[in-house]
Structure 1
Amino acid sequence: MGEPSAAEPEHSDAQAESGEPVIATRALTKRYRGGQLAVDGLDLTVPAGSVFGFLGPNGSGKTTTIRMLMGLIEPTSGTATVLGQPMPRATRAVLPHVGALIEGPALYGFLSGRDNLVRYDSADPAADPRTRKARVAAALDRVGLTAAAGKKAKAYSLGMKQRLGLAAALLQPRRLLVLDEPTNGLDPQGMREIRTLIRELASDGTTVFLSSHLLDEIEQVCTHAAVMTQGRLITQGAVAELSAGARGRLVVTTPDPAEAARVLKEQGVGDVVVTADRVTGEPPDRDLAEVNAALVTAGVRVRGFTVRRASLEDAFVALTGEGFDVAG
């Protein structure tokens, strides 16, 4: 990888300030041998300064897209730009400004976590060797691995390896951070810490492109999102707008769920689901006060009556007509 010219960082600054997308694809397509269509005509726009969630079930084409964006594989057709420059042609100019963790970190198992980062930093021609030790220590501290820095990487858990890979991506300040399933293998506490770190990076001006099959993860941390399934883009936009495009769920808490379900169906509530003490469904196009009154008139003991706001899962189901397989 050649050393970037002095003009390149200025170009990136101007690109971000102008409002030009950090990532943009047009009709991006990847077809493998045998005719398998992994990515089909993708038009993606990632705004500068966003935390952009790239959402889809495992096998939907997310990682293939990321590999094309990073210049690791050639598209079959279509175009992609990263930081305003064409990929993969501008790979050598773009990648010094991009931190990436794709398909899990590539580590030397016989080296310690600290020594792995030293090797990564040494391979960067733009990294000043005089400040290497401080950079490595800061990256380890940022992902919570300082105490385990001297342990060999082969002894790390999957979650610790994910953290070390993220530390490698953070050795230098980056304009763009690309993370493919970054919380894979982490316990709930580790997931919260990584989400907090992502928010901190975004507040510092780094655009974060986050691939995940976890709807909850995207909804908690991302400002924008795109939804893919079977290689095709279903929708993209601000997370709040995507959720607002789906209807919420009417939730009735009652000790009389069977009778409540009957009345709700009569009142036009769709997709009624009954559990032990709760009935949910799609709200009808009418005054909900009338629905509540009908329940009371029928003798249903209503202990709770509310509309839960739509989530990304609701939006996905509304767009695709199918559930979201979070288990992959």
Structure 2
Amino acid sequence: MEERSAEGTDPPVAGTASASDEGTVIATRALSKRFRGGQLAVDGLDLTVPAGSVFGFLGPNGSGKTTTIRMLMGLIEPTSGTARVLGQPMPRATRAVLPHVGALIEGPALYGFLSGRDNLLRYDAADPTADPRTRRTRVEAALDRVGLTAAAGKKAKAYSLGMKQRLGLAAALLQPRRLLVLDEPTNGLDPQGMREIRSLVRELASDGTTVFLSSHLLDEIEQVCTHAAVMAQGRLITQGPVAELAAGARGRLVVTTPDPGDAARVLKEQGVADLVVTETGVSAEPPDRELAELNAALVTAGVRVRGFGVERASLEDAFVALTGEGFDVAG
């Protein structure tokens, strides 16, 4: 059982938004969640998600991402702090906000004895804002959008994990949404399915939908997201445009050569640290000196240099630099 919110300020009336909400779809201030027993899952989170962005929410196992998402969606109350979604306070404005939000959190809840199509029909019938006259048309369109038309008549209990993920995403897309919240949307998908979901996310963003995406696949985030935030141990480490986060980490000096042993020896003599030797060459932490001098030293020593340069840092490099640890499956 969770503790109740300690937030005491009265929220604005549903349908209103302050000037600070302009251009922001999600905003949290000092948002915290402490569970019974003293576990502090989220600690003073200040998160800002720009409208129209594809926002990646990153963090190692147990970092508080799913707890944060549950608070944003009004599923649990914060212990302290505030959360606003589409300019409205959550969870107080849940009824006003959720009709404009599509969500896939911790996997879809499906009726196994119903077909994929009938599951979507039931989801849509439970939405008081949905027009029953266009229900079947919208269900078929959602099935087609996630590539499940051919399997629409099959019972959900016979679906693979990837197909269930697709069906959950289809449920989130039954109506136009201002915000789409996806928790591990590519879980269980094969590479082709992952590419299709990436393409769909880009398409939704181009149509004006803000996508808030939690994932443990850093390369996926880097390919599809415009902005990102990094969580660790319940606290926000950093947030901002993905390109800027990656730029904040140092790249790697990469030397491609058939003489990796000799190259490593020369680089070490030149004061280069953190050497990694492979069959095709050497990589290292870029030194604070003129790289042309290193290249000249390699050539002078008779090393056959086929490639030489600094590869830009990836989002994974930035994550490791920020958290001091590798990336684990989101929790």
TM-score (norm 2): 0.92
Which residue of the other structure, out of 21, 25, 37, is the alignment partner of 1:22? 25
Aligned to 1:205: 208
Aligned residue number for residue 324 of structure 1: 327
Quick check: 1:121–1:171 contact (8 Å CA) kept in 2? Answer: yes
Is the 2:16–2:88 contact (alpha carbons within 8 Å) kept by the matching residues of 1?
Answer: no
How far is the alpha carbon of 1:275 from its aligned partner?
1.2
In the alignment, which of 65, 70, 87 is matched to residue 67 of structure 1? 70
The match for 1:3 is: none
Across the two proteins, how many residue pairs are aligned to each other?
319
Identity across the alignment (%):
88
Identify which of 266, 270, 275 aligns with 1:267. Answer: 270
Map of 1:194 onto structure 2? 197
CA contact (8 A) 1:15 1:84 kept: no
Aligned residue runs from structure 1 range 156-195, under 5 A: 156-195=159-198
Hey, what does 2:95 align to over in structure 1? 92
The residue aligned with 1:106 is: 109
Residue 240 of structure 1: aligned partner:
243
Aligned to 1:260, the other structure's residue is in SS state: helix
Q: Is the 8 A contact 2:257 2:307 kept in 1?
A: yes
SS at match of 1:120: helix
Whether contact under 8 Å (1:15, 1:83) holds in the other structure is no
**Alignment deviations for residues 46-74 of structure 1 (CA, whole Å, 9 cap, x no partner):** 00000000011232111110000000001
1:226-237 to structure 2, matched below 5 A, reads: 226-237=229-240
Question: In structure 1, the residue corresponding to 2:62 is in which secondary structure?
Answer: coil
Q: Which amino acid aligns with 2:157?
A: K
Indicate whether 1:314 and 2:308 are aligned: no
Alpha-carbon offset, residue 265 of structure 1? 2.4
Residue equivalent to 2:3: none
Structure 2 Cα separation of the partners of residues 55 and 139 of structure 1 = 28
| Alignment gaps of 5+ in structure 1 | 1-6
- Find the counterpart in structure 2 of residue 44 from structure 1: 47
Q: What amino acid sits opposite 2:267 in the alignment?
A: L
Q: Secondary structure in 2 aligned to 1:105?
A: coil
For structure 2, the residue ranges without an aligned partner over 5 or more in a row are 1-12
Aligned-partner Cα distance in 2 for 1:288–1:20: 43
| Aligned equivalents of 1:324, 1:121: Cα separation in 2 | 37
Per-residue deviation at 1:303?
1.6
Higher mean displacement: 192-201 or 294-303:
294-303
Q: Is the 8 A contact 2:249 2:318 kept in 1?
A: yes
| Contact 2:62 2:330 survives alignment (8 Å) | no
Contact 2:59 2:330 in 1 (8 A): no
Q: Structure 1: how far apart are the matches of 2:88 and 2:158?
A: 40
RMSD across aligned positions (CA): 1.9
Superposition misfits of 4+ residues, deviation over 4 angstroms: none
Mean CA deviation greater in 78-87 or 303-312: 303-312
Query: Is contact 2:250–2:312 with CA below 8 Å preserved after alignment?
Result: yes
Q: Does 1:118 align with 2:121?
A: yes
